[in-house]
Structure 1
Amino acid sequence: MSDKRVYSDNPRVLAVQTLAKIKNGAYSNLQLNQVIKQHHLGEADTRLLTTLVYGVIQHRLTFDYWLAPFVKNKKIDSWVTELLYTALFQMVYLDKIPQHAIFNESIEVAKVMGHVGTAKFVTAILHNIDRQGLRSTTDISDTVTRLSVEASLPVWLIETLINQNGETKTRQIVATINDAPSQSVRVNTTLASDDEVKAALEAENFSAIASKVAAHAFVVNGGHVASSKAYHDGLLTIQDESAMLSVESLQLTENVKNILDAAAAPGGKTTQIAQYIADDAKVLALDIHEHKIKLIQHNAERMHLSDKIKTRVLDARKVPEQIDQQFDRILVDAPCSGFGLLRRKPEIRYDKTLADVESLSRLQLAILNSVSKNLAKDGIMVYSTCTILRQENDDVVTSFLNDNPNFELIPTETSQNLKEDRHEKVLHVYPDDYYTDGFFVAVLRKK
């Protein structure tokens, strides 16, 4: 069953090819964008391609469970498995495509990418599924294993979430992670008001609903915002609502003059800081990669904020050695496992391990310990991540405070007073709380 590496503009062929590459290590968003650029697809075909790719990635373990009784121990090419997964996704999750059309299209893809034998094999599998139906997950007696299959998350992650949050909250979290992510934007308040940006978006046929999570933000529907004139003119930037909270928690005032953004790329939070500081204040944005520094600079230029932003290629762990300056505020939006981003980057659930999480927590602590030496007396340092695992969140903060008794943890404050009745000073935002990305924010003050 050989893949003939065919060139096709058929979205189902492209979906299978794209999924095979992602399975071999390609990033879903980059691979998908590349395919869309290379092929001349209409809006409907682009939408189908995107839906198939992300749908299969999100439900891969579920499909594996369903398909296993039909393929048994037969050795089949990976692209054939991906093709069968796309068929299952359409059968179970898309209600507008008739089953006969799904079968016919899938068999045609098998012919195009393989040969007659491949098509016969795929035909037999699909008709067996039609006759016998898909086995229920209620057949799985173990709770963790069943939840792993149902949510298509690795067993170790389910176990960790249950241990940290309980089974009820874990079920609430995983029930939402395969939903489509919302598209949200932050207003560039240095160029326009909220009302002006809302009007500009509506003039381009977008709908804009004020965020209930962050200030100067909208949830947007109606198309690709990055293609809008409002985006091009720098009136707004694309940023998840929860990702805006770490800068809100920095307690920026007119008296804050020097800010360090220690792991800044691609610059969303850097430009957010620049919006809220005085004209004579500066934010220094660091990243370890030159090409990511260029992303920060590009964002700053587009939003007309370059005069407040300096950039530098530097590993944040080397800040005390390379920078003499003391900062009023420091933001450490740390490199993390990204498990708060499962809606946007579904493949990370298969790529990351518990060992990766533990390794990242050591890196995060090293960055915090390093940059904290450059925080001025009475200064504030915000530590944030886009993960929902306590090893990278609470445990890192606890370790830092144990190592640095001259720091204290103070309550995380946000513009909308999120979770104001919580009993802890840090802020955990889970994907099911507000249907945003999962996020963590802790605020540390130097005594």
Structure 2
Amino acid sequence: MSDKRVYSDNPRVLAVQTLAKIKNGAYSNLQLNQVIKQHQLGEADKRLLTTLVYGVIQHRLTFEYWLTPFIGNKKIDAWVRELLYTAMFQMEFLDKIPEHAIFNESIEVAKILGHVGTGKFVTAILHNIARQGLRDIDDIKDPIQRLSIEKSLPVWLINELVKQHGEEKTRALVETINDAPSQSIRVNTVVATDDDVVKSLESENYTTVKSLVADHAYIVSGGHVASSKAYHDGWLTIQDESAMLPVESMHLTAEVKTILDAAAAPGGKTTQIAQCISADAKITALDIHEHKIKLINNNAQRLHVADRIQTRILDARKVPNEIDTKFDRILVDAPCSGFGLLRRKPEIRYDKTLEDVQNLAQLQFDILDSVSQNVADNGMMVYSTCTILSQENDDVVTKFLLAHTEFELIPTQTVKNLKSNRGEDVLHVYPNDYQTDGFFVATFKKRASIDTANIKK
């Protein structure tokens, strides 16, 4: 970041400052929310700030490729690089801002955060870009390297996706990876109907479109839905459509009385389970962090389902030693690399490595291996991740089934019967399938154990 302590409500200044913080490890969504809360910004400036921040993160490798010929080996401050990236993003991806305005604003930001010399340096770079143009990505001969730069995804990730899906399917899969995510909501049927929520939102000038992916779900536009009365009253919660599918596949009926949510925070799926069960059923929701347990409790209170949920700080790998209950249903929405969430958390692509994925796969198996001991006979366990890599998905399922012959894999079924002709029991949802987050869902059923002592000889 710039050494100068600058307070400004200029969205371009804030974008550069925010990007510098994210580059140092802050999460994009949290950092953006914090900046917006701390500054007096109109709706247009909020949109510009958000667009610049996400745009630069999503295309960082592309901008690095374009900027390198103009910088060479010259060492420049990180924030200056971010500033130049914001300028290139506006030039290449936004069509309503004239080039002269982009140049003038960028040079002004350079002066605000730096000094006159910085302004001259940025001026020179921008004029050279305008004069010479940006080099063509199609000139990259290697197809993996070319796709990496084009979609701004690390080479190792492209390699893994091509290995698992082939080049054609990988290209289709990553084609929408940088699209803006939709704002989707789940109706809280404990206190409201779909019609109640739709009418309430439309009365505040939101537009709703019924989801084709999940039940009681809608795509909402026309403003930040967390500001709506329906949200405030607990009639709805914000949740991606594909994130609702693991709970849909749990076969929750009135006979299901005991449920374990093994990695529950922040509580989206926990509260979804709560609206699908009878009032006398109980959910045990676990997380290893106290502050995340508070998030679950807060969500449950807002959605009027706290009486159905018991939270507990516990590592899911310790469940058999700490909990005696045999549960009718267990949900393991496992910690994962999150590569299905690249639209919402674009910085993930730069933070994770193949070694991280392999370590997470071991953790996922360990959690499944542990909590499976607490599944009741004829009970079910659902395993889900928000990633698109087979190491954390199909490979974990295969390893678990080899170690646990008392479980069988059964077809994952959703309310809207997604991919009914898919030819496999597990459900893969890729970002390009329905314009949602990428998700994976597998459903296991525990066979009834045989009491050999009571079998007549």
Question: What TM-score range do you get, normalising by the shorter chain?
Answer: over 0.9
SS at match of 1:73: coil
Q: What does residue 354 of structure 2 align with?
A: 354
Q: What does residue 223 of structure 1 align with?
A: 223
Q: Name the amino acid aligned to 1:9.
A: D
SS at match of 2:392: coil
Are 1:205 and 2:173 counterparts? no
Cα distance in 1 for partners of 2:116, 2:300 equals 55
SS at match of 1:276: coil
Q: Name the amino acid aligned to 1:194.
A: D
Q: Name the amino acid aligned to 1:324.
A: D
Q: What does residue 381 of structure 2 align with?
A: 381
1:327 Cα deviation (Å)?
Answer: 0.2
1:23 Cα deviation (Å)?
Answer: 0.5
Cα distance in 1 for partners of 2:275, 2:7 equals 47
4+ runs deviating over 2 angstroms: none
Q: Do the aligned residues in 2 keep the contact of 1:213 with 1:242 (CA within 8 Å)? A: yes
Are 1:133 and 2:133 counterparts? yes
SS at match of 2:70: helix
Of 34-43 and 429-438, more deviation after overlay is shown by 34-43
Q: Do the aligned residues in 1 keep the contact of 2:275 with 2:305 (CA within 8 Å)? A: yes
Cα distance in 2 for partners of 1:374, 1:60 equals 45
Q: What does residue 329 of structure 1 align with?
A: 329
Q: Name the amino acid aligned to 1:145.
A: Q
Cα distance in 1 for partners of 2:24, 2:388 equals 26
1:139-288 to structure 2, matched below 5 A, reads 139-288=139-288
Q: Name the amino acid aligned to 2:14.
A: L
1:351 Cα deviation (Å)?
Answer: 0.2
Q: What does residue 316 of structure 1 align with?
A: 316
Cα distance in 1 for partners of 2:395, 2:8 equals 50
Cα distance in 1 for partners of 2:442, 2:102 equals 49
SS at match of 1:141: coil
Q: Name the amino acid aligned to 1:47.
A: R
1:2 Cα deviation (Å)?
Answer: 5.8
Cα distance in 2 for partners of 1:167, 1:126 equals 36
Q: Name the amino acid aligned to 1:305.
A: V
Cα distance in 2 for partners of 1:345, 1:319 equals 30
SS at match of 1:367: helix
Q: Name the amino acid aligned to 2:114.
A: G
Of 338-347 and 1-10, more deviation after overlay is shown by 1-10
Q: What does residue 406 of structure 2 align with?
A: 406
Distance change >3 Å, CA 190–CA 144, structure 1 → 2: same
Q: What does residue 113 of structure 2 align with?
A: 113
SS at match of 1:335: coil
Q: Do the aligned residues in 2 keep the contact of 1:261 with 1:270 (CA within 8 Å)? A: yes
Q: What does residue 430 of structure 2 align with?
A: 430
Q: What does residue 74 of structure 2 align with?
A: 74
Distance change >3 Å, CA 329–CA 2, structure 1 → 2: closer
Gaps of 5+ in 1: none
1:3 Cα deviation (Å)?
Answer: 3.7
SS at match of 2:166: helix
1:423 Cα deviation (Å)?
Answer: 1.1
Q: What does residue 58 of structure 2 align with?
A: 58
1:279 Cα deviation (Å)?
Answer: 1.1
User: Per-residue CA shift, 1:15-70, capped at 9, x if unaligned?
Assistant: 10110111011111111111111111111111111110000000000000000001
Are 1:16 and 2:31 counterparts? no
Q: Name the amino acid aligned to 1:378.
A: N
Q: What does residue 442 of structure 1 align with?
A: 442
Are 1:363 and 2:363 counterparts? yes
Cα distance in 2 for partners of 1:122, 1:38 equals 28
1:183 Cα deviation (Å)?
Answer: 0.5
Q: Do the aligned residues in 2 keep the contact of 1:3 with 1:79 (CA within 8 Å)? A: no
Cα distance in 2 for partners of 1:272, 1:54 equals 29
Are 1:84 and 2:48 counterparts? no
Q: What does residue 291 of structure 1 align with?
A: 291
Cα distance in 2 for partners of 1:357, 1:104 equals 43
Q: Do the aligned residues in 1 keep the contact of 2:332 with 2:383 (CA within 8 Å)? A: yes
Cα distance in 1 for partners of 2:417, 2:40 equals 47
Cα distance in 2 for partners of 1:385, 1:371 equals 16
Cα distance in 2 for partners of 1:265, 1:377 equals 27
Cα distance in 1 for partners of 2:229, 2:201 equals 9
Q: Do the aligned residues in 2 keep the contact of 1:406 with 1:446 (CA within 8 Å)? A: yes
SS at match of 1:186: strand
Q: Name the amino acid aligned to 1:121.
A: F
Cα distance in 1 for partners of 2:20, 2:372 equals 44
The TM-score with structure 1 as length reference comes to 0.99
The TM-score with structure 2 as length reference comes to 0.97
1:81 Cα deviation (Å)?
Answer: 0.2
Of 185-194 and 432-441, more deviation after overlay is shown by 185-194
Cα distance in 2 for partners of 1:120, 1:143 equals 38
Q: Do the aligned residues in 1 keep the contact of 2:2 with 2:79 (CA within 8 Å)? A: no
Distance change >3 Å, CA 407–CA 98, structure 1 → 2: same
1:5 Cα deviation (Å)?
Answer: 2.7
